């Protein structure tokens, strides 16, 4: 009799272990097939339908995504900001699958990863409908809507960051999409599902001169005191690098404020290919910071690709150099934050049933320059807005620091860029704006950046 009881106990115990192992594998599968679809395990899809996904909130508790119960059972996702935050939040549906945070943080929203383990395990064993964890973001819903509204109709992207913490305050991309009607946007021209702010690959143009200038001030400070003659072009091994004007004799400050290609082409040649590549890496170009959404890491040519002409072109943000708007914003953050780049982050907290809470803190990431070098560059960027190419970004009563760019590309008119921050004395907001095929950064991107900074500082 005792043996039979013991055998029965073993069988029950083995069954419980098997169930626990099976349930523990669900989060693993969800990372690969979240949101259902043709490749999804039907058991996972069935489990998802039993769980009320957690909500997603902005920094002030405003709802960005929530699950609404249906009469026939189950839930459907609702997105109060519509297309304004679609690339960040993403979408979730049985037919279309998922994207954005709805995909990358599916296991958190479903309560299968993170959360109170006892509460979650009890629900799984008893088969009760579960409740997922909520996610609180760093973005401001009002600013997000405002930025998306300014972009509307202009292909491009905007990223707004707190340079002191790395918190993303807003990130918008246009064209955008309605997250409740995703199938209508599949295979459409202009790639409305592409998050240009985080995944766009753009030549940076003259905004990259911030990086080159930092290299000169760090490694060749004597050259910053020299005067360079700009005749409107620079010849490098038979290659002619064109400038936007004939600037005559310019010192370092004038070259930066007037965005002189000849001077910065020479600066790049003086730095050399290896130093230039290392310099770009210290600013996060081609480096992945770890982020809850897919990021384009940027591209810097290899040493064997940086001949004299290629190096001179790269130093002014042309050639094969590519960055995302997020990376451009982080370059501005380096100057604003005394030479240090904080790790960019989007999620501030998880919270869930059973008293679960997990908070994410600001983290130091890179130190591309000393505070002294950052101070010099800050003054140069202030001069750009006060009397240089960035005057359209000026705000009354507030000191704005910035850099414009007009990046040539092989597919049409130049892209218009602006990166900057304010107030320059104690920076609270940094911004990057890129408008595709809009031409002059000073004429097109700078006015948009001005309005974004104004709203963000309010």
* Coarse DSSP helix, strand, coil percentages of the chain, rounded to the nearest 5 percent: 40, 25, 35
pLDDT per residue as tens digits for the range 426-452: 999 999 999 999 999 999 999 999 999
**For residue 75, what pLDDT is reported?**
86
**For residue 96, what pLDDT is reported?**
87
Spatial distance between the Cα atoms of 165 and 360, rounded to a whole number of angstroms? 11
Angle at the Cα of 110 (from 102 to 100), degrees rounded to 5? 10
Per-residue pLDDT at 39 exceeds 50: no
**For residue 355, what pLDDT is reported?**
82
Q: What does each C-alpha distance from 110 to 51, 104, 351, 446 come to in angstroms? A: 6, 12, 12, 42
Residue 94 vs residue 269, higher pLDDT: 269
Domain 141-457, architecture per CATH: 3-Layer(aba) Sandwich (3.40)
Spatial distance between the Cα atoms of 237 and 239, rounded to a whole number of angstroms? 6
Per-residue pLDDT at 38 exceeds 50: no
- Homologous superfamily (CATH) of 2-137 is Penicillin-binding protein 2a (Domain 2) (3.90.1310.10)
Q: Which of 101, 2, 66, 126 is nearest to 345 (CA)?
A: 101
pLDDT average, residue stretch 271-278: 97
Spatial distance between the Cα atoms of 299 and 320, rounded to a whole number of angstroms? 7
pLDDT grade for 290, boundaries at 50, 70 and 90: very high
Work out the end-to-end distance of the chain between its first and last CA atoms, rounded to an integer number of angstroms: 78
pLDDT average, residue stretch 367-380: 98
Per-residue pLDDT at 56 exceeds 60: yes
**For residue 111, what pLDDT is reported?**
85
pLDDT per residue as tens digits for the range 298-346: 999 999 999 999 999 999 999 999 999 999 999 999 999 999 999 999 9
Spatial distance between the Cα atoms of 82 and 63, rounded to a whole number of angstroms? 11
Per-residue pLDDT at 25 exceeds 60: no
Mean per-residue pLDDT over the chain, rounded: 90
pLDDT average, residue stretch 216-235: 95
**For residue 32, what pLDDT is reported?**
45
Spans of all domains in the chain: 2-137, 141-457
Say if residues 352 and 118 touch (Cβ distance below 8 Å).
no
Please state which of the ranges 120-134, 243-257, 329-343, 409-423 shows the lowest mean pLDDT: 120-134
């Amino acid at each position: 009799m005792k043996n039979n009881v013991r055998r029965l106990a073993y069988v029950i115990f083995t069954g419980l272990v098997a169930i626990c192992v099976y349930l523990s594998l669900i989060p693993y599968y969800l990372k690969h097939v979240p949101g259902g679809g043709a490749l999804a395990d039907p058991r996972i899809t069935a489990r998802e339908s039993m769980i009320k996904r957690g909500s997603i909130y902005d920094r002030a508790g405003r709802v960005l995504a929530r699950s609404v119960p249906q009469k026939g059972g189950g839930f459907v996702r609702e997105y109060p900001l519509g297309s304004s935050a679609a690339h960040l939040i993403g979408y979730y549906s049985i037919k279309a699958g998922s994207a954005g945070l709805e995909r990358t943080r599916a296991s958190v929203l479903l309560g299968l990863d993170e959360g109170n383990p006892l509460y979650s395990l009890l629900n799984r064993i008893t088969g009760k409908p579960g409740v997922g964890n909520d996610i609180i973001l760093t973005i401001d819903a009002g600013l997000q809507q405002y930025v998306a509204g300014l972009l509307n109709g202009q292909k491009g992207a905007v990223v707004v960051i707190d340079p002191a913490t790395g918190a993303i305050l807003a990130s918008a991309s246009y064209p955008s999409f309605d997250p409740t009607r995703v199938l209508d946007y599949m295979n459409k021209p202009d790639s409305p599902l592409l998050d240009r702010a985080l995944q766009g690959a753009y030549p940076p143009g003259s905004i990259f001169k911030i990086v080159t200038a930092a290299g000169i001030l760090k490694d060749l400070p004597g050259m910053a005191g020299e005067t360079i003659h700009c005749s409107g072009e620079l010849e490098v091994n038979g290659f002619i690098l064109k400038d936007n004007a004939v600037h005559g004799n310019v010192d370092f400050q004038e070259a930066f404020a007037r965005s002189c290609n000849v001077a910065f082409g020479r600066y790049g040649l003086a730095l050399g290919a290896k130093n230039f590549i290392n310099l770009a890496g210290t600013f996060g170009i081609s480096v992945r910071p770890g982020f809850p959404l897919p990021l384009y890491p940027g591209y810097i040519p290899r040493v064997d690709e940086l001949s004299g002409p290629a190096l001179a072109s790269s130093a002014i943000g042309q050639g094969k150099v590519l960055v995302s708007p997020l990376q451009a914003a982080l370059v501005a953050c380096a100057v604003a934050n005394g030479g240090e780049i904080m790790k960019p982050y989007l999620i501030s907290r998880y919270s869930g049933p059973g008293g679960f809470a997990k908070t994410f803190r600001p983290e130091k990431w890179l130190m591309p320059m000393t505070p002294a070098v950052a101070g010099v560059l800050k003054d140069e960027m202030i001069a750009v807005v006060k009397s240089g190419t960035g005057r359209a970004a000026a705000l009354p009563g507030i000191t704005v620091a910035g850099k414009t760019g007009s990046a040539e590309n092989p597919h049409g008119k130049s892209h218009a860029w602006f990166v900057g921050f304010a107030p320059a004395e104690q920076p609270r907001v940094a911004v990057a704006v890129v408008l595709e095929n809009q031409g002059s950064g000073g004429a097109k991107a700078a006015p948009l950046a001005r309005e974004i900074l104004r709203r963000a500082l309010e």
